Amino acid sequence: MAKRWLADCLSYHPSCSRRYASCWTPTRLVDISDLDGSGDVQLVITDQDTPNQPYVTLSHCWGLYPQVRLLESNVEEFKKRVPLSILSKTFVDAIMFTRKLGHRFIWIDSLCIVQDSVEDWESESALMSLIYGRAICTIAASHATDGRGGCEASRDPLSIWPCVIPSPFQSDPDRKDTFYRVHAEDIEERWQHNVKDGPLYQRGWVLQERFLSPRTLYFGYEQLLWGCSTMEACESFPFNPIPEYDCPYNFRGDRRDFVDSFSSQHEPRAIRPFWVRWAKIVELYTSAKLAKRSDKLIALSGLATELQQHKSVKYLSGLWMDDGLPWALCWYRECGVPQSAPLDGSGEPSWSWASLDGKIGTYSNQNGDPLVTLDHIQANDDAISADKSQYRGTVLYLRGTLKLAYFDANDSSNHLHFRPRSQEQSLKLTHDLIFEKTSSDKLFFDTNSRDENPASGANFDFDDDRPEGNWMFCLPLVNHFPHRKGPVSTLVLKPVKGPPSHFRRIGIFSGWDNWIAGTEEMVIGLV
């Protein structure tokens, strides 16, 4: 079945192959041809031994179970032989299945990247867009939590194959000889519990592996499934492409959206659809888990690198520095995800969603008018690259309107007052903002007309970084419906020590636009 899916895709799905016309191979591959009849394999250096060879990649969960790794001390040994007996069940299954597919080489991260070499790990991790994107196919061990799970799980054929029953309408001559196939589960449920809900897709690293791979064979709990940009199928429904609207998680649609991002890079109208796609990627990615926080941006750099090859846009700390930046800055922490500010001030810039752990929400509907523009960026040349993980010290200089606000901790009403920012620092109030000390960390407008200006909520990025007793500032980003005077997504900022007019983000809120008028534009630095 898998061989047919692969052959059909290679022969009849031009959209699955058009992205990668040129041949390319990773630095190292595992040669799985039967070494001297023993079944053992060996590591090969591709530029020396096997230039431009087709290969398969493996996507798997490392888990806590120890597994064989390529180290500086065993590279030469592995170039001679890697005994199957020392490999995990998942690795052995992947090797055997690759042989059945008729291919000689497979790329496995722990066997093809020197794990105790920082230099090799950094250089190879920067090639993920090529490694998975140029593979003939990716084998995904979807159901296994670690190397002991293997690729193929124990399964009941009766739960996979449909039960064939004769038509109950025997009296109808047109239906008399009709038979029906009855499935235990529909196709949506098959994909949900075999792929989407499996442990593999809870890993942050796997998102880019899924998006970059032109073809993927998923080994689920009960059966084998197939996904490419043209078709999704499984053993229960092997030959009929799954309609896009029938798949609740829309793997094919997600992948095709990513592929479509490569086109129309010079058309202004294509910018916002691109940002909508990237916002969805951020939400999917931040809902997954990473074993190391330091991998936060590295594990997404393959996608960014691939996009940067097709777009003349700078990428910094998970955001694209173009016309869509005001919308991209409108990210927010999902409710119920506790956060504490880093004690040493380390981490990504406050303007980046990567400065937080846990799931991030975005404004994927990017209608409206921007209220800020990017003036310039202060960053080292090394920082302006998709394959770098650290952007500390990068400052975004934004041109927009800034409102000064003050929270009086002694005020029993807990009002946060907006004051116009001018040379005279007038104390005349425009509107009030109520800060309620609740678990939801909400800010609410307080105006004379609730009907005309209803309350709208906001949240702070960190639970222990609140505005009590401090001056703070509000920077409007986007007026989402200007013909209705809002709502306006607005950053909540705090001044930082150092140069004047430099701030860090501490939260975001959404409200109407009538408090913005009368404020002159200025350029501020966002760290």
Least-confidence region, from 56-65, 261-270, 517-526: 261-270
Q: What number is the average pLDDT over the span 320-324? A: 89
**pLDDT above 50 for 454:** no
* Confidence at 255, pLDDT banded by 50, 70, 90: low
- Name 7's Cβ contacts closer than 8 Å, sequence gap at least 6: none
**pLDDT above 50 for 231:** yes
- Hey, what amino acid is at 429? L
Share of the chain above pLDDT 70, in %: 70
Least-confidence region, from 39-48, 139-148, 160-169: 160-169
**Better pLDDT: 436 or 191:** 191
C-alpha closest to that of 115 among 52, 69, 68: 69
Quote the pLDDT of residue 26.
94
**pLDDT above 60 for 343:** no
C-alpha closest to that of 508 among 296, 316, 351, 343: 351
Question: DSSP class of residue 60?
Answer: -
Share of the chain above pLDDT 90, in %: 40
Q: What number is the average pLDDT over the span 216-232? A: 90
- Name 383's Cβ contacts closer than 8 Å, sequence gap at least 6: 316, 390, 391, 393, 394
pTM flag (> 0.85): no
Quote the pLDDT of residue 309.
79
Q: What number is the average pLDDT over the span 322-334? A: 91
Quote the pLDDT of residue 267.
46
Quote the pLDDT of residue 407.
52
Please report, for the chain, the start and end positions of each structural domain, with discontinuous segments joined by +: 2-157+186-258, 314-527
**Better pLDDT: 347 or 134:** 134
* Confidence at 184, pLDDT banded by 50, 70, 90: low
**pLDDT above 90 for 283:** yes
**pLDDT above 50 for 268:** no
* Token digits of residue 489: 């997504």
DSSP H or E segment with residue 179: strand 179-182
Least-confidence region, from 70-79, 100-109, 119-128, 267-276: 267-276
